[in-house]
Chain A
Amino acid sequence: MTPTVVLPVIIGGLYAAGVYLLLDRSLTRVLLGFLLLGNATNLLLLSAGGPAGLAPILGYAEPEEISDPLPQALILTAIVITFGIAAFLLAIIYRSWRLVRQEVVEIDEEDRRVALRSGTDADEMDPDDLALEDRPAAHADSLGGDAGGDLAVEGTLARRYGGIASDDVDLPPTERRRR
C-alpha cells in the first residue's frame, strides 16, 4: 500500500490551527485549540501505525491484512483523557465566567505588584509617602483610587448587565485598567 499524503496534511493543519487558537486570551478558544491539538495528536498516533488495513479482529481478517491495533488502543485511551479534561476545562471556564464575567486568561496581580515596585526596600519607608502602586498590598491606600467606584456595586452591575438580576452576578466585574 502506498502512504497517504492526506493524513500528514490534515495533521499539520490541525496543529497549526490548534496552536493559533491556544495562543488566544479567550478561554473558549483555548479549549477549541486544545481539542484541535488533541485530534491532531490522535491522527499522528493513527498514522504511526503504518498504512491502513482491515479491522484488527481475529477471524474477520488475516493477521497480514489487518492494521496495527496498538495505536488504536493508545488513541482510545487518549480520546478518553482528552474528553475528560475538556469537560473539566469547560467547567472551569464557566466558573471563571460566573466569578468575573470574563472568560479570558487573567493578569496575575501579585506579579504586577512585584514588577511595579520600586527598587528600594519597602520596609524602611512610610507607606503613606509612597505612590499608590508602591505601597504594601496590606496598606489601606493601596486599594487604589477606584475603591469608591466599586462601592456602588449594585449600580455598576445594573449599568453593565441590564438584563441580569444582581443576585445572579457573583462579583463586580474586574476593571481592566490600561496603563
Chain B
Amino acid sequence: MIRVLMPLPVLLPLLGAAVALLVGGRHPRVQRTLSILVLGTVLAVSIALLLLADADGAESLSIGGWPVPLGIVLVVDRLSALMLVVASTVALGVLVFAVGQGAADGDEETPISIFHPTFLVLIAGVANAFLAGDLFNLYVGFEILLTASYVLLTLGGSAPRIRAGITYIVVSLLSSLLFLAAIALVYAATGTVNMAQLAGRLSELPEGTQLLLQSMLLIAFSIKAAVFPLSAWLPDSYPTAPAPVTAVFAGLLTKVGVYAIIRTQTLLFPGGALDTVLMVAALATMLIGILGAVAQTDIRRILSFTLVSHIGYMVFGIALSSAAGLAGAVFYVVHHIAIQTTLFLVAGLIERQGGSTGVDRLGGLAKASPFLAVLFFVPAMNIAGIPPLSGFIGKLGLLEAGIADGGWLPIVVVAAGAVTSLLTLVAISRVWSRAFWRPPAQSPAADTDEAAARDAGPELVAAPLEELASDDGSGSTATRVRRRAAWRRHTAVATASTPAMDGLGDGAESARPLRPLPQVMIGSTTVMVAVTVALTALAGPLYAIAGRAAVDLLDRGPYVNAVIDEEDAP
C-alpha cells in the first residue's frame, strides 16, 4: 500500500503540470480545477503516507525495480512524511489564493497559464527532495524546485523582479554547483551516493575527509536554508515576487534546505563534528536576521528578515543533536512553514487593500478592514511566540532542550532566542501599530496611488512624474503648499469614508483607492490562519510525531534498514 502511494507526490504534480501546460491557454478554468485537484490528491496521499509511516516505520521504494545501490530509491519516514503533509497543505492554500488573485486581476499582467504548471513542478521538486533516498536524487529535486522558482520569481518580467531574480538565480546556482561538487567528492570517497549506504561507509573514512564532505554539504544547504552568513540573498529577492509566490517560497524553499541539513547531519554525519559551528551560526542568524527586520519599513521585507531570523531556531535544534533538540527543530519547521506562508498571504491582502506594503504608507487598516486585522493579528502573535500559540510551544521546546544540554554556548543561544522572540514582537507590532492602528491622517503617505505605482515598477512611474512636471526637485513654495493641501484633502476623504469599508469587499464605492478583496483570497487566507491555529490545538500529537521522528533520526537504524533490506528482495 505505502509503496503504491510513495511516488505519487512527485508524479502527480509533474503529470498535472504537463496537462495544465497543454490546456493552459484555452481553458484556464480547466487548468485551475486540475491544479487544485492534483494538489488536493497530493495532500490526501501525504496524510496517508504520514499515518502509514507513523504506524509501520520507514519504507523505501526502488524506482524501476533496480536493486538498491544501482537504482534510484525513494524513502519515506516520519520526518519526510510530516514535511510532505505540511508542504502540500501550504501549497494547496497558496494555490487557491493565487486562483482568487488571478481571477480578480483578470490575468492581464501575469501570464497565468504559465503559473499553474510551474507551481505544480515546484511542488513536485519539493516532494522529490523530501522523498529522495540518495544524494543525487536530492540534487535533482533541488534543481526541479529551483528552476520552477526562477520562473515564478521573475513572472511577468518587470524590472524589479528581473533585478531580484538575477541575484536569486546566481546565488542558487552557486549553491547547486557546490552541492554537485560535494556529491562528486562523496562518490569519489565512498563509491556510492545512496544515503543509507553512505551512513555506513562515511564513518569509515578518515576524519579530515569526513569533515570536508560534511562542511561542503552544510555550506550548500545553508545557502538554500538562508543561514547567516549565507542569508543575504533572501531579503533581497523574496519581497518583489507576487504575493502567492513569495508566500510559497518563504514557507517551503528554505525549509527544504533545513530538511536537507537535518537529514545529512543526522543520517550521514552523526558525530556532530560541526555542532559548535552550527550553534554559532544559529546565534548569528537569529540576532542579525531580526535586527534587519526591526530596521525595515516594508511589511514584506520585515517578514523576509523574520524568516531568516527564525531559521536560526531550527539550526539551533539541529546543532543540539539531542532527541529533544531535533524534536523541537522538526516541530518548529512545521510551525514555521505554515505561519510564514500565512503571513505572506496576509501581506498580499494588505497590499491589495492598502495599495502598498510600506508601513509608512499604510494606516487605519484595522478600521477599514477589521477582518483583515484579525487575519494579520493571529499569525503575527503566533510568530512572535505569544502563548498559547504554536510558535510559543516550538520555541519553548527548543529553549528547554537548549537548557537541558547544559553547555555554556547553548545557554547563550537560548538567551539570544528569547531576545529574538522579543525583537520579533517589536518588529511585528510596529507593523500592527502603524498599518492597522494608526489613524490614516497620520500616515505620511501623500498619495496611495502614487505609492502603488512606485511599487509596481518603473513602467507606472511615468504618470506621476508627468504630474510633477512643474517641480524641479528643489520645489517652489507654491507647489509645496498646493501638494500639501491635496494631501490633507486626500487623508480627510480617507478618514471620512473608512466606515463604509469592511474586509469582505464592500469598499468599492469608497473614495480611497481600496480595491475590494476577492472572497477566494480572503477564504484561503482564513483557512491558512485556521491551520496555524490548528497547529496549536494539535500540538500534542504533532509534537509526539516530531519526537518519534527525532528518535528515528538519531537511531538511523529504521532509515538504513528500510533501504538496505530491500537489497535481498528481487
Name the residue on A nearest B356 (C-beta): A138
Contact B297–A45 (Cβ < 8 Å): no
Chain A residues near B183 (CB-CB < 8 A): 45, 74
Interface size in chain A (residues, C-beta < 8 A): 56
Whether B276 is near chain A, meaning CB under 8 Å from some CB there, is no
Contact A137–B451 (Cβ < 8 Å): yes
Whether A158 is near chain B, meaning CB under 8 Å from some CB there, is no
Name the residue on B nearest A69 (C-beta): B70
- Beyond A114-B297, A123-B442, is A136–B361 a contact (Cβ under 8 Å)? yes
Q: Which of A115-150 contact B (CB under 8 A)?
A: 117, 122-123, 127-128, 132, 136-141, 143-148, 150
Name the residue on B nearest A153 (C-beta): B462
In the assembled complex, the Cα of A88 lies from the Cα of B170 at a distance in Å of 12
Contact B162–A92 (Cβ < 8 Å): yes
Whether A168 is near chain B, meaning CB under 8 Å from some CB there, is no
Q: Which of A44-97 contact B (CB under 8 A)?
A: 44-45, 47-50, 70-71, 74, 77-78, 81, 84-85, 88-89, 92, 95-96
Contact B174–A22 (Cβ < 8 Å): yes
Contact A146–B473 (Cβ < 8 Å): yes
Chain A residues near B164 (CB-CB < 8 A): 108
In the assembled complex, the Cα of A108 lies from the Cα of B161 at a distance in Å of 11
In the assembled complex, the Cα of A147 lies from the Cα of B438 at a distance in Å of 31
Chain A residues near B390 (CB-CB < 8 A): none
In the assembled complex, the Cα of A2 lies from the Cα of B301 at a distance in Å of 55
Contact A148–B188 (Cβ < 8 Å): no
Contact B159–A99 (Cβ < 8 Å): yes
Contact B187–A71 (Cβ < 8 Å): yes
Contact A137–B469 (Cβ < 8 Å): no
Contact A140–B483 (Cβ < 8 Å): yes
Name the residue on A nearest B236 (C-beta): A108
Contact B185–A48 (Cβ < 8 Å): yes
Whether B147 is near chain A, meaning CB under 8 Å from some CB there, is yes
In the assembled complex, the Cα of A105 lies from the Cα of B466 at a distance in Å of 28
In the assembled complex, the Cα of A45 lies from the Cα of B301 at a distance in Å of 39
Whether B271 is near chain A, meaning CB under 8 Å from some CB there, is no
Chain B residues near A81 (CB-CB < 8 A): 140, 143, 147
A34's partner among B170, B298, B468 (CB-CB below 8 A) is: B170
In the assembled complex, the Cα of A85 lies from the Cα of B106 at a distance in Å of 30
A92's partner among B154, B451, B473 (CB-CB below 8 A) is: B154
Contact A41–B444 (Cβ < 8 Å): no
A-contacting residues of B (Cβ < 8 Å)?
136, 140, 143, 147, 150-151, 154, 157-159, 162-167, 169-170, 173-174, 177, 180-181, 183-185, 187-188, 193, 236, 239, 295-298, 301, 356, 358, 360-361, 434, 438, 442, 444-448, 450-451, 454, 458-459, 461-462, 464-466, 468-469, 471-475, 480, 483-484
23 A-B residue pairs with CB within 8 Å:
A34-B173, A34-B177, A41-B181, A45-B187, A49-B187, A74-B183, A85-B169, A105-B163, A114-B297, A123-B434, A127-B444, A136-B360, A136-B444, A137-B361, A137-B454, A138-B446, A139-B445, A143-B461, A143-B465, A145-B473, A147-B473, A148-B472, A150-B465
